[in-house]
Chains A and B, each alone.
Chain A
Amino acid sequence: MSGNVGRSIGAFGPLGRRDVLRGAGLAAGAAAFGSWLPRSARAQETFVWYTGLATEASDAVSKQFTEKTGIPAEYFRAGSNNLVQKFDQERQADQVRCSALLLTIPVLVAQWAKEGVLTQYDSPEFANYPEEFVIASYSAPTSAEPMAIAYNKEMVSAEEAPKTWEDLLDPKWKGKLALTDAASASSALHWFAALQSVYGKEFMEKLSQQDVLVRTGGADVANTLVSGERPVAAAITQSHASRAIGKGGALRIVVPEAGAPMIATMICIPAQAPDPETGKKFVDFVLSEDVQVMLQDDYFSPSLRKGIPPIKLDTGARPLSEIKPMASSPADLERFQNERAELTQEYMDLFK
């Protein structure tokens, strides 16, 4: 028996010259391929941030950051709900890859701050933002905007267009409405929670009977309107609608006088961040005046930074100062956050 084993071990050697040559060739090939390996298979060297901002805006921010600091940056974009879910899984696996996080769920960021999920960082830029929006030592808003109504102005006249949230229940809009999916975009979930708390559950029940077309993201809803698939959006972030208009889409935005649910995007640094120092630089960068102006002017994300002139557009979009927030106080947000699972369930049962 031992003879057998001995013989089989002997079979592996001796190495011939051809084996050596072939091995060298393989090694060279592997090395060449290795330089092409996916990032995570190698040591981390790029600054990675996660974002719920629109793709184009994220792209511009990432590129400008690299230009300014020389640090290569990569971003991962998804709806805030998906983002949080991926981030949670990473935290559980202790595999957090991002060193900064932009999220439209302020309450969750506040909660994380308390739970030690975030790196403490008191950015000098925080001082330039209204105190009520800043989570001290942890986070500040990169933008704030309303959830609005939008319509295709080639298909719907200004007179016909809905002007209030209740107008959406008009039978003439049956089969004409589109909606951002609250299961993936937390902005839409906030819209759902806010309107339901103000107008009651019946409002949403009636709306769900209007044969609403649910689309995953704001950009998707904007496209639906531009292409004419559905002429009216029941819920879309003002910035998504504005960007579609900026690209030539014949849309108009309606921010109801009665008020609109407000969405704030917060920036923070995870406690398990692989590169918290660059994360801090990035926070300063995004909150800086230049970037805030760019986000507002080029990508229609209204800034909360003090001293920046309000957004001016003839699209129906309104500056923050002219909008009456609806069910968007910190208390409201916290309540919605606690009921998140139930709210999502209610929304799913009605619209999906």
Chain B
Amino acid sequence: MAQARIAAAAGTQRQRVRHWSLGDPLLWLQIAVVLLLCVLIVYPAAILLKRSFVADDGTFSWVWYLQAYTNERNLWAIINTVIVATGAAALAAVSGTLLAWAVVRTDMPGRRLVEMASIVPFISTSFIGALAWILLGSPETGLINQLWRFLGNEDALINIFSLEGIIFVIALYEMPFVFLLVGGALRSMDPALEEASLASGAGLWRTTTRVTLPLVLPAILASSLLVFVLAAEQFGVPAVLGTPARIRVLTTSIVATNTFYPPQRGLGAALCVTLLVIALVGLWLQRRMLAGRSFTTVGGKGSQPRRVALGPFRWVMLGICCLYLLLAVVLPFSTIFLSSIRTLWTADFRWEQFTLANYHWILFEYPTTVRAIRNSLFLAVVGATVTILLCALISFLSLRTRLPGRNALDYLSMLPLGFPGVVLAYGLLQVWINPPLVLYGTVWILFIAYLTRYLPIGVRATSATLVQIHQELEESSLSCGANWFQTFRRVTLPLLKPGVIAGWILLFIAFSRELSASILLYSPGNEVLSVVLYDLQQNGQFREISALAFIQIAASIVLVLVAKWISRLDRTPEG
């Protein structure tokens, strides 16, 4: 009797998750979430698009696009954006693939150390990297150039204030994306595919070029297109390295139209749409690349791939890898540290120039920093928490229900991937500065921007975990008479915990250093750390920036270590 009743209840409950009716609270929740995402993502984009086609007198017009594409400076901004993005993608693809191959497939000594360097982008950002490289590569005063002159040369060795400098710094810090993706592909490749080539009489070189590289080519292309999009979105690096050399890219031009007095909103919108198109084309190509040519080459035996014996060349490879570490980590970080404890940044080092005053100033005397730390922490803690919970809900709705429109939900939540931070912010600015709900001037507009911009990261983290949780675990909860809310709270959410924690940490780190949207959306009193860094740079206060950057790097290292520790804690019960 009792059993029959439970079974009957299970039947109806199950139906309620699988199908839908107007009385279903899940349906209304779904509608609410879709509407929220529309307001967050689609509406600002639409406003932006409209703005770019409306002249100052309110009529439809191409005037802004005309201005964007005929004015030499704006045209160069577009060309430079493409050059920077392509150059960074190419450089990152070549160096990332080489390093991944060296680490995964050769007997190079110190492979593990090089692999550890893949967490560099989590510890530093390309923006801090750019700040450090100004100290290293300024044509006159950069340490490298001073050394070069000391060695008896006339001219500067490098000029970091150049297109090449921008490409170099972006590639340096985005390269790990290529490294990780290609390394993963190389690692999961069936070693028999290469052995078959050797058995066919092909040598190492031919096997590498004809078999290994073509097989990981989709990974190389996909990751370098990702770098292309990330480089096109970059604001911080071109802002600090390009501006002194009069090199404009789209992001800096867009920000300039807004910081101008009077602001040129229409032109800004037209430039935003242009950047949006570039980013979307890059992402579209990347998707095609992944969809069309994904070779599932995972080995049947889970065997270790063969390592290529490089002979004496392994030391050359190690040298190349060490050079990367030197350029990306050792030199910038030590320069930042040195600069942060000195009174004047000049070439001759005297003991009386060493001081902790920069730290004291930045932490205790400069009120904006204190404010910014407070704001950044608030946004990172509260923002990451709210975002990851929303993401878990979105994942649940799109993966675990049969409600209408769940595909739209999935698509909407991935849409911000194609939105450069500057473009998103520009759209949000137009929306939230006007009644009925005015969020400009508050910290909440930053909150919304971060949430929207990093929604895809959170949804990916949570849905990747959710896919691994067998649906029967939830269905058995339903069969026990729990409704969807109890099931979500008692079964789904706890099982999702590892994914949620991992996603939260990713979001926390991302939120605490976001710059390209913040630069447009912050208002006095609502500064965040990255904006303070940027402002201090604009002000030329390098020693103070160095102190703040060093603090940020140190905090990030601690956070990454804590994250690793937590993820290890999470894994212990299983293994």
Binding site for B on A (CB under 8 A): 1-2, 4-5, 7-8, 11-12, 33, 36-41, 48, 50, 55, 59, 62, 74-79, 81-82, 84-86, 88-90, 92-98, 181, 183-184, 186, 213-217, 219-224, 226-230, 248-249, 340-341, 344, 348-349, 351-352
Contacts and interface: CB of A to CB of B under 8 A. Distances in A.
B550 interface: no
A222 B441 contact: no
B441 A97 contact: yes
Q: In this complex, which of B260, B262, B440 has the most chain A Cβ atoms within 10 angstroms of its Cβ?
A: B260
Contacts of A92: 433-434, 440
A222 B246 contact: no
Nearest to A90: B441
B524 interface: yes
A42 B244 CA distance: 39
A307 B86 CA distance: 62
Given A76-B368, A215-B244, A95 B442 contact: yes
Given A8-B485, A40-B442, A81-B261, A216 B539 contact: yes
Contacts of B141: 227-229
Q: In this complex, which of A40, A85, A344 has the most chain B Cβ atoms within 10 angstroms of its Cβ?
A: A40
Given A55-B366, A85-B258, A97-B524, A1 B441 contact: no
Contact of B73 (A40, A89, A348): A348
B138 interface: yes
Interface in B462-483: 482-483
Nearest to A189: B261
Given A8-B485, A95-B440, A341-B262, A352 B73 contact: yes
Given A77-B368, A92-B434, A227-B140, 10 more contacts: A1-B22, A36-B377, A38-B526, A93-B440, A97-B525, A184-B538, A213-B244, A216-B539, A227-B141, A352-B248
Contacts, number: 181
Contacts of A88: 261-263
B260 A344 contact: yes
A302 B422 CA distance: 39
Contacts of B73: 348-349, 352
A219 B525 CA distance: 22
A95 B28 CA distance: 34
Interface in B243-298: 243-244, 246, 248, 256, 258-263
23 contacts: A2-B23, A8-B483, A40-B526, A41-B443, A55-B366, A59-B367, A79-B538, A81-B261, A82-B259, A84-B261, A85-B260, A89-B429, A90-B440, A90-B524, A93-B433, A183-B256, A216-B243, A219-B540, A223-B542, A229-B140, A348-B73, A349-B72, A352-B248
A341 to B, nearest CB: 6
Contacts of A12: 485
Interface residues of B, number: 65
B153 interface: no
B441 A36 contact: no
Interface of B: 12, 16, 21-25, 72-73, 138-141, 243-244, 246, 248, 256, 258-263, 344-346, 365-368, 371, 374-375, 377-378, 381-382, 429, 432-435, 438, 440-444, 482-486, 523-527, 535, 538-542
Contact of A219 (B24, B262, B541): B541
Contact of A48 (B261, B346, B378, B525): B525
A74 B243 contact: no
B103 to A, nearest CB: 38
A227 B346 contact: yes
A229 B134 CA distance: 11
Contact of B438 (A48, A94, A184, A215): A94
A183 B484 CA distance: 57
Contacts of A4: 12, 16, 21, 23-24
Nearest to A227: B141
A352 B440 CA distance: 29
Contacts of B540: 215-217, 219-224
A92 B265 CA distance: 14
A62 B365 CA distance: 11
Nearest to A5: B23
A214 B367 contact: no
A227 B345 contact: yes
Given A33-B381, A98-B524, A227-B141, A41 B368 contact: no
